Amino acid sequence: MQTDSSFTFVLFGGTGDLSMRKILPALYEAHRAGGMLADSGKIVAVARHVADRAAYIDWVNEHVKPHVSKNGVDETAWASFLDRIEFVKIDLGNPEDFTLLRDALSGRPGIRVFYLATGPSLFVPICRALASVGLNENSRIVLEKPLGYDLKSSNAINDAVGEIFAEEQIYRIDHYLGKEPVQNLLALRFGNVLFEPLWRREWVESIQITIAEELGVEARGDFYDNTGALRDMVQNHLLQLLSIVAMEPPHSMDSDSVRDEKLRVLRALKPIDPRDIGKVAVRGQYHAGVIRGSAVPAYATEPGVKPDSTTETFVAVKVEIENWRWAGVPFFLRTGKRLADRVAEIVVNFRAVPHSALGASALRGGANRLVIRLQPNETIRLYCLAKQPGEGMNLASVHLDLAFDRFFREGQMEAYQRLLLDVINGRLALFVRRDEQEAAWRWVEPILNEWATANKPPKPYAAGTWGPAAASAMLAQHGTCWLEEEN
């Protein structure tokens, strides 16, 4: 993960929430680790609400520093990290201001990275302004989600950006792909002979992928009420995780080999007949409830949300993959806000033994399962049955636990840190290619259209629960249930 070449990392939206909580802390951690960032590499923050560099450094000290280093800040490393930071004040609505950025970057060696931590409405204007001053050459552009509102708007953004930057210059970021357990999922499948023979319809009964949040919409009510959980989480994060779980072994780990296999999965998703959407997709909206002993308000009363909003804050959907490996295996995706716990995990439920001389407990579904937890603690657990001590042959569930912090003494790399280093080093494997994105939008679009035209409100659920009962009923029809364990 070392970077030997020089770079200039230009951060648009330099005073935004994403820059404060994720991007700048990730760059600091890479700097603090030593050897990951070239000594000559610079960070150029772009914003319009700060007067100059001194004011921006004050902002970084006040707002960014609290979000770095769980074990405390290394003051020497922090001081040298601040030395990397420069600042250019630009009004993004005024293309002429980009000459200031061009002049600030003039003569700098190495690659330029432009990170657009802004709203998607600014993606195309920023790219065109960069091209107008010749800054699209020898550069890489990083686009945050959401990239569009639907397939048509996504294509419009991609078409416009694609006229300015070549596909190999465009890094569409999905931070879940940078998480350590997702990387370990690839290692688990393709580095061990143990699991790959079982990773197919003959041995897998069902797969669940959950991204659950305790938080509500916070201060993003205006944004979220025009987006919803299907666009915000399913179209990107959950379908990307599904493609990693279900993909065929690539011939190598180079960027196109990995992304080609993910694309094959996305194109093999069984199209949903609009008449069946009520059977395979559940949408919900949280009402007032209690989370960890504190009362929380209903979604409709959150700031920025329309009182009569029908925007979904919860989605559960059944997905099928029409290929030889996965035909007949249901994939259940679930995400929501104000749920009972904060957890992201992948659950692979293996089939029960065909016959048991040890009693009915060995025949129940889910006795053998693999749980890959992405957050809050990153672990991989393999569950199986073992004999309980004492008389008789009484079976109990036990698990083998791969807790990364026990096996590896060095600290784990955060997702954004890994992905930013990949951008700087030109590694595209963990970024979403345009055809992947189009395939994902194409699959979710019938659901979006049906929900937009149906005269049915989302199903209510109390904050602090696991969502509408209909989501559990959907799994019950397949003889299974959601895995809902304590952290």
Same domain assignment for residues 190 and 140:
no
Q: Is residue 413 part of a domain?
A: no
Q: Provide CB contacts within 8 A for 32, sequence distance 6+.
A: 69, 74, 77, 78, 81
Q: Tens of pLDDT along 444-455?
A: 999 999 999 988
The answer to whether 176 and 373 have CB atoms below 8 angstroms apart is: no
Q: Is residue 385 part of a domain?
A: yes
pLDDT of residue 361: 64
The answer to whether 8 and 115 have CB atoms below 8 angstroms apart is: no
**Mean pLDDT of the region 312-324:** 98
Same domain assignment for residues 204 and 343:
yes
CATH code for the domain of 31: 3.40.50.720
Residue 359 has pLDDT above 90, yes or no: no
Q: Quick one: angle between helices 255-267 and 239-246, nearest 10?
A: 100
Q: Tens of pLDDT along 119-141?
A: 888 999 999 999 999 999 999 99
Q: Is residue 458 part of a domain?
A: yes
pLDDT of residue 311: 95
**Mean pLDDT of the region 58-76:** 89
Same domain assignment for residues 136 and 186:
no
Q: How many CA atoms lie within 13 A of 296 on its CB side?
A: 22
pLDDT of residue 406: 72
Q: Provide CB contacts within 8 A for 146, sequence distance 6+.
A: 120, 227, 231, 232, 236
Chain length of the chain: 487
Same domain assignment for residues 247 and 365:
yes
Same domain assignment for residues 197 and 311:
yes
Residues identified as active-site: 237
User: Model confidence at 266, in pLDDT bands (50, 70, 90)?
Assistant: very high
Same domain assignment for residues 353 and 451:
yes
Boundary (domain end) residue, out of 91, 122, 144: 144
The answer to whether 361 and 385 have CB atoms below 8 angstroms apart is: yes
Same domain assignment for residues 212 and 123:
no
DSSP string, 429-466: TTSB-HHHHHHHHHHHHHHHHHHHH---PPEEEETTBS
Measured distance between the N- and C-terminal CA atoms of the chain, rounded to whole angstroms: 31
Same domain assignment for residues 100 and 234:
no
Domain coverage including residue 346: 178-408+434-476
Q: Tens of pLDDT along 223-241?
A: 899 999 999 999 999 999 9
The answer to whether 212 and 335 have CB atoms below 8 angstroms apart is: yes
CATH code for the domain of 377: 3.30.360.10
**Mean pLDDT of the region 105-120:** 92
Same domain assignment for residues 133 and 277:
no
Mean pLDDT of the chain: 91
- Element of type H or E holding 16: none
Same domain assignment for residues 101 and 241:
no
Q: Tens of pLDDT along 203-223?
A: 999 999 999 999 999 878 888
E-assigned strand segments in 109-153: 111-116, 139-143
User: Model confidence at 1, in pLDDT bands (50, 70, 90)?
Assistant: very low
Boundary (domain end) residue, out of 90, 123, 144: 144
Q: Is residue 116 part of a domain?
A: yes
Q: Is residue 157 part of a domain?
A: no
Alpha-carbon distances, residue 472 vs 315, 333, 381, 478 (angstroms): 12, 12, 23, 10
Residue 262 token pair: 């993910």
Residue 292 has pLDDT above 70, yes or no: yes
pLDDT of residue 99: 96
**Mean pLDDT of the region 44-73:** 91
Query: 233: closest CA among 179, 178, 312?
Result: 312
Triad 315, 319, 320: Cα angle to 5°: 175
User: Model confidence at 485, in pLDDT bands (50, 70, 90)?
Assistant: low
Q: What is the CA radius of gyration of the chain?
A: 24
E-assigned strand segments in 237-378: 281-287, 289-291, 294-296, 314-319, 331-336, 343-350, 369-375
Q: Is residue 227 part of a domain?
A: yes
Same domain assignment for residues 197 and 112:
no
Q: Is residue 154 part of a domain?
A: no
Boundary (domain end) residue, out of 124, 144, 164: 144
Q: Is residue 63 part of a domain?
A: yes
Q: How many domains does the chain have?
A: 2
Q: Tens of pLDDT along 374-420?
A: 888 888 889 988 888 887 777 878 888 877 667 776 667 889 999 99
Same domain assignment for residues 222 and 321:
yes
Alpha-carbon distances, residue 188 vs 196, 245, 380, 422 (angstroms): 8, 11, 10, 22
pLDDT of residue 267: 97
pLDDT of residue 365: 62
Q: How many CA atoms lie within 13 A of 225 on its CB side?
A: 17
Strand order in the sheet with 343-350: 395-403, 379-387, 369-375, 343-350, 204-212, 331-336, 314-319, 281-287, 459-462
Residue entry with tokens 């499948």: 189
